[in-house]
Structure 1
Amino acid sequence: MQDIASRLRRDGRVAGALYLVVVLAGMVCLAYVPSRTGATLAEAAAHADLFRAGIAAFLMMQIAFLLVPLALYRVLADVDRRAAVLMVALAAVSVPIGLAAVTHRLEALTLLQGADAGEAAQAAFAVSIQRYGYGLRIASLFWGLWLLPFGWLVLRSARLPRLLGLLLVLGGIGYVVKVFGGLVPGFADSAFAQYATLPAALGEIGSCLWLLAFGARQGRMAAPVSRS
């Protein structure tokens, strides 16, 4: 019989490696590239290669994000199978939404590569970037929702530090509040909106690094099924 502790360490490190791809690719496509390429056709044209790299990083992030919850399922399913299934489902839902959103980024890329830099092209570029942002807003709702069962499973099992589980739950709530709060005028400029997802960032990066370095601990196991 395979040693449970060894299996958890191994499966945890696999999940951590995949999570690292999500974290690094996300930093590139969601933070670094937008800060450099700007929101206008002229600004993006000055960093066309970086704009393309951002799209590639986003696609890589989506592939890895589809695999991360499946890897975490192997680590946490015996704690509460229904919660683990919910975790996988909520994360998986965000992937097609994210892929649909990035098609608008691809539309913007065709404008970037075209010779026309007139007002019509600039307006079309701005609309494509805006639609991409709308898609990300919907995807981010599920980026938050999947953290709720994930964090709860960590809190219940202690296979990662419980502080990380708490941060994941708070971060998930922060994502959801930020998405719905964005429908309220003035909310985007509030201090809460600026820091709502900070616990999620700390919890996800912390979970990624912990899993990568240590794997998952044995923690609490579900009661074994008795056999007659």
Structure 2
Amino acid sequence: MSPRTARLTGLAYLGLALFGLLGHLIIQSRLYVAGDAAATIAGLSAHGTLAGLGVAADVGVVVTQALAAVLFFRLFQPLGALPAAMIAGFGLINSMIVLVATMFTAAALASVRAGDPVPVLLMYELNTAAWTLGGVFFGLWLIPMGRLTLRSPDLPRLLGWILIAGGAGYVISAFVAYLAAGTTTVTTVLAVPASIGEFVMIGFLLFKRRWSSAPPAAPRLPLTPRPSSAPR
């Protein structure tokens, strides 16, 4: 693995985490009041700059998710072309889903600023649904990442299993979120392994000094002994 590629991948992944925390978890929770259109519109009107920062942070998620997807492919491709391609593919799909989700909140903010608000609450509900259902692809990008981590001589096997568990948790939570009301605690718990695994992965990518220059050699099959030539 290339140390330079590892650092760039870690920076992109760190950017993804920070933009996601800022935009979707911190800022949006201050602006969007579930089930209350008037309060949501009032929040956007009173905190237009903050809302704009939230949209910008979500765009940051789109960019860093796409970069991380491509860089993870480059980093892990020597360990397995198909799983590395799965990381890139699912990561890019998730980036597109976040872009669509951001379009909803951007349209809501633009309409409020123009003084002719569209159904703002609907826009935020669509945004939330896109993030929730998009978790399927976020989970699917973590599972092959975990598999390749298990193959890597530079990363701990435990991290690989945590990433696989976290990816499965994200996929399951997308179903759980709509199977019954009041499942917020369950979906939060399901996301815990992913959060742990991602930040540990970021730490290794950014701060590990030595990386193997080549992937581990595949086990060799025993050679079939050649039959001895018959005596002449």
Name the TM tier (shorter chain): 0.7 to 0.9
Written as runs of structure 1 = structure 2, the 5 A alignment for 1:16-95 is 16-39=10-33, 40-95=40-95
Q: Deviations over 1:127-181 (max 9, x none)?
A: 1111111111222211111000001100121422223222211110110000011
Is residue 198 of structure 2 the alignment partner of residue 188 of structure 1? no
* Alignment correspondent of 2:202: 208
Please say if 1:144 is aligned against 2:139. Answer: yes
Which ranges of 4 or more aligned residues in structure 1 deviate by more than 6 Å?
none
Amino acid at match of 2:189: Y
Aligned length, in residue pairs: 212
Question: How far apart, in 2, do the equivalents of 1:156 and 1:110 lie?
Answer: 47
**Is residue 167 of structure 2 the alignment partner of residue 172 of structure 1?**
yes
Counterpart position of 2:8: 14
Preserved CA contact (<8 Å) 1:21 1:64: yes
Contact 1:75 1:216 in 2 (8 A): no
The question of whether the paired residues in 1 share the 8 Å contact of 2:44 and 2:109 is answered with: no
Q: Which runs of 5+ in 1 are unaligned?
A: 1-6
The answer to whether the 8 A contact 1:159-1:220 is kept is no
**5+ unaligned residues in a row in structure 2: which ranges?**
34-39, 219-232
CA distance in 2, matches of 1:74, 1:110: 38
Contact 1:159 1:219 in 2 (8 A): no
Matched residue, 1:107: 107
State the AA in 2 paired with 1:50.
L
Residue 36 of structure 1: how far off its partner (Å) = 2.1
- Identity across the alignment (%): 27
C-alpha contact (below 8 Å) 1:79/1:157 kept by paired residues: yes
Structure 1 match to 2:130: 135
Please list the CA deviations of residues 168-211 of structure 1 after superposition, one character each: whole Å capped at 9, or x if unmatched. 1111011000001122123624x432211011111111111221
> 1:98-130: per-residue Cα shift (whole Å, max 9, x none)?
2112111111112321335xxxx4x71111111
The structure with the larger Rg is: 2
Output the TM-score relative to the length of structure 2: 0.84
* In 2: Cα distance, 1:194 partner to 1:97 partner: 20
Q: Which has the higher contact order (CA 8 A, sep 6+)?
A: 1
Superposed displacement of residue 218, structure 1: 2.0
The 2-side partners of 1:216 and 1:28 are apart by 32
Q: Are 1:156 and 2:157 matched, yes or no? A: no
